[in-house]
Amino acid sequence: MAASVLTTLRVTVLAVLWVCVTSKLVYVEENLPLPGEESPPGSPWPLPRNWTHLPSQLTINPATFIISSDLTGCEVIDAALHRYTHLVLIDPTGTPEPGVTELPFLNVSVTSGCDHTPHLNLSPDYESYTLDITLTEEKLEPDLGLRRKREGEDEETIWVGRANLNATTVWGVLRGLETFSQLVHIIEPENHYRVNVTHIEDGPRFPHRGLLLDTARHFLPKNTLLQVLDSMAWNKLNVLHWHIVDDQSFPYESRIFPNLTHHGAYTPRHVYSQRDVTDIVEYARYRGIRVIPEFDTPGHAQGFGKAFPHLLTPCYGDGETAGTPNFPYHAAYENLDPTNPQVYDFLKAFLVDLKHTFVDGYIHLGLDEVFLPCWSSSPVVQAFMTRHNYTEVRQVEQHYVEKVLELAHLTPLNYLTWQDPADRGVQMANTSVVQVWKDVSLSPSKMRGWREYLHDLTEAGHQVILSSCWYINYITYGQDWKNFYKCDPTDFQGTAEQKALVLGGEAAMWGEYVDATNLLPRLWPRASAAAERLWSVPLSEAPSVDLAAYRLDQHRCRMLRRGVPAQPILNGYCGEWEVPQNVPMSTPPPTTTTTTTTTTTTTTTPPPTTTTTTTTTEPTTTSSTTTTQAPAAAPEESPGSSQQQVESVTVTTPATPSATPAVDVTVNEASVS
């Protein structure tokens, strides 16, 4: 270690509103005892692939504990060391336990060098890591003079605690740091930091572990989105599927088509500016999370039509007059107009602009729920069908889909789509990903089970992700998280080759009845159940759902401590979390004090034999050779945890639309006065 150039972080302790959180589940009724056994303190979520923990424990001194890396000058690593030093030591009242061997540092090692942007990677090593926390008896060099011999201790040996995190990539480091932060815990009531001797070999089961957020039905403030990104990282989710616009509103600010938000946003304040979007993408990048925007067409396109009504198909609801509805089959204007060349000119320019805003290289094109009766009613569409020798209106849909996929290919952008066009046999690139959302539970008369859809799509050679069984916006009374936990994306009849085409899945939080007031409690810890299924072993190899409940409750309490209002899964309590909230409203808020300490590394005493803990403390950072903060001008601190500090990011947003590369487009921006 002395030979390595290490980035070191010294700890500054900040006061928080409450101390450590110990989880406790309680039965529903006395005659219905809880099945299973309680998980030991410091049990991680999602469950690692291979986790061995021994009774022997070490303690941590928050005044001297260091997280260090042998990779210097890597902004993602530097920022992560800053964040996780805080998360490990989040409780300022925590102290080292006297007479217990101290763990002085966590050493982080990356073998493949620095990477800056996460992407879809099918390699099993891309987010994998190993974590070792050891306690060994070593010979004491007589000339070190570290400390005086303690009673009963061999004069020539000393117990030494070490922790090493090794990963191939920086993204594996992020996942390993999250696990380490969950292993450290506090023993009440003394508030001593502890961590068990542990060996973990871990990595994700699937490369795509996502969460869909809908910001069109209800606008979600930027701070709320940042808090969601933090909580996604704490659950090892790595894709934010941002359903950013829809019929109801168009909050995305386009650089080349500003009228889209001028006419499509709920109000001028319900808008994600280019700077907002860039900040959100950057915030996600530092956490190893990809941001994939969805702009759904040709249906769900009223948001586009509010600025450019001539791009929509006029419906003939009364059979004679353009722009008349036929409720509930269609509105007066429905779907983009597949016969209008300006539609494709517009989409070409729009996709090019998106490529320069969202860095992932993938975009979600939607292509679901096209309401065909409007097209059928239109004499313009009927004439178009005659010219192309189409006999069914679905051929018009296929014509549109093929044109849009060609535009995406030429941009170039890789793409995801909903399953609808693939269900109808539309040919797509082998890099495309099909998202399965349909299930008989959603529409018994119109849909089949999701397992059948997965079988058919993978048999046709499509890469797929699953969402059908993870509609988190649907709520029922009781422990509905168990249903999410039991859903396994490869639980369908198919060959090994078919199941290899399953890239993962996404929990979906649609926004019809969800806004910033209820998003986080509805999301967590229910989405955590899907997160474990996407990260950990298959359901057939997993612990029972009854055992998982104790770990999930512990994780829910952990998220509460970190500032996320995760809802309970059963009766019980989370340590003293509830108590400070039961104070008179006239009571002044607690003050924040800062105490800075310098780092010293010491060795300690003989090993203990039992127990575990829950921890944390907030850091400000200094660095011996590099800085753990990116340059200033970044997204604000993570919301929901007033004491948490986050890295800054520098972004450059074009001041005017002219900064965007020129595109050949003939859409009339002034078509709406």
Hey, which residues are catalytic here?
369
**Separation of alpha carbons 15 and 616, rounded Å:** 11
Q: Which residue, 616, 604, 617, is CA-closest to 97? A: 604
Neighbour-count burial for 567-577, b at 16+ CB within 10 Å, e otherwise: bbbbeebbbeb
List Cα–Cα distances, 37 to 187, 286, 303, 543, 546, in angstroms. 19, 37, 51, 11, 8
**Separation of alpha carbons 560 and 577, rounded Å:** 8
**Separation of alpha carbons 115 and 74, rounded Å:** 8
Is the distance from CB of 625 to CB of 8 less than 8 angstroms? no
Tokens representing 642? 């007033």
DSSP states along 245-312? --SS---B--SS-THHHHHHSSSTTS-B-HHHHHHHHHHHHTTT-EEEEEEEESSS-HHHHTT-GGGE
**Separation of alpha carbons 181 and 646, rounded Å:** 16
Count of CB atoms situated within 10 Å of the CB of 191:
18
Per the document, the length of the chain is: 673
User: Which amino acid is it at 402?
Assistant: E
Is the distance from CB of 273 to CB of 655 less than 8 angstroms? no
Count of CB atoms situated within 10 Å of the CB of 317:
21
Dihedral sign for Cα atoms in the order 338, 212, 654, 360 = negative
**Separation of alpha carbons 55 and 539, rounded Å:** 28
180 Cβ neighbours under 8 A, 6+ residues apart:
84, 88, 106, 131, 163, 165
Is the distance from CB of 257 to CB of 669 less than 8 angstroms? yes
Count of CB atoms situated within 10 Å of the CB of 122:
11
62 Cβ neighbours under 8 A, 6+ residues apart:
11, 13, 89, 92, 94, 95, 96, 193, 617
Supply angle C-alpha 132, 133, 135, rounded to 5.
Answer: 130
**Separation of alpha carbons 473 and 507, rounded Å:** 9
Q: Which residue, 547, 503, 553, 510, is CA-closest to 528? A: 553
DSSP, collapsed to helix, strand or coil, labels residue 7 as: strand
Is the distance from CB of 13 to CB of 597 less than 8 angstroms? yes
User: Which amino acid is it at 36?
Assistant: G
DSSP, collapsed to helix, strand or coil, labels residue 160 as: strand
Tokens representing 517? 């007031």
DSSP states along 488-507? -TT-SS--HHHHTTEEEEEE
497 Cβ neighbours under 8 A, 6+ residues apart:
none
User: Which amino acid is it at 123?
Assistant: S
**Separation of alpha carbons 405 and 429, rounded Å:** 8
Q: Which residue, 66, 137, 75, is CA-closest to 107? A: 66
